A = this chain, B = another copy of it.
Amino acid sequence: MMAAAESPWLDEREQRAWRGFLDMHALVNRSLASQLQRDTDVSLADYAVLVTLTESDEGQLRSFAIAESLQWEASRLSHQLRRMRARGLVERRPCPEDRRGINVAITPAGREAIDAAAPLHVAEVRRVFIDHLDDTHLDALADAADRVRGVPTDAAPAT
């Protein structure tokens, strides 16, 4: 018999879920990215940063706070902010409490860009993702995501 806890390869069910997951993400991601590029002035990466900033009280956050919120590396964020700054979407402000730090603030142009992009983006998220799924699938997907990410949703007594 084969070793039980080993991983020779994925069986059919596992393969279907795994490949399906990857392909679904690739499709959805491509759709969203090309829709933003076609219809707006922001990329997916821009969008993520701008949403994070607009959801803050002052429209302004420390770099590390953005990075933590998006689960991005500091370096990735730094590069992204440089590009966004060059296009006038965000600006830097000194940080009084810690002179190593930077406050990143959304500019009026940044607000215009995200306000224009958001409804189109949400519509596309619905079109390519949400609209294909009923509540059962949505919940199952969210549950799966919680498990994979190690979020202790509701029932998880064991181990």
Contacts and interface: CB of A to CB of B under 8 A. Distances in A.
Query: Looking at chain A, what size class is its interface with the partner chain?
Result: 35 or more
Query: Copy number of this protein in the oligomer?
Result: 2
A130 interface: yes
A140 B7 CA distance: 22
5 contacts: A7-B123, A9-B122, A10-B126, A20-B144, A132-B150
Interface of A: 7-10, 13-14, 16-18, 20-21, 23-28, 71, 119, 122-123, 125-126, 128-130, 132-133, 135-150
Q: Is the interface of A mostly helix, strand, loop or mixed?
A: helix
B138 A14 contact: yes
Contact of A25 (B14, B16, B21): B21
Given A25-B25, A129-B18, A130-B10, A147 B143 contact: no
Contact of A13 (B24, B129, B139, B145): B139
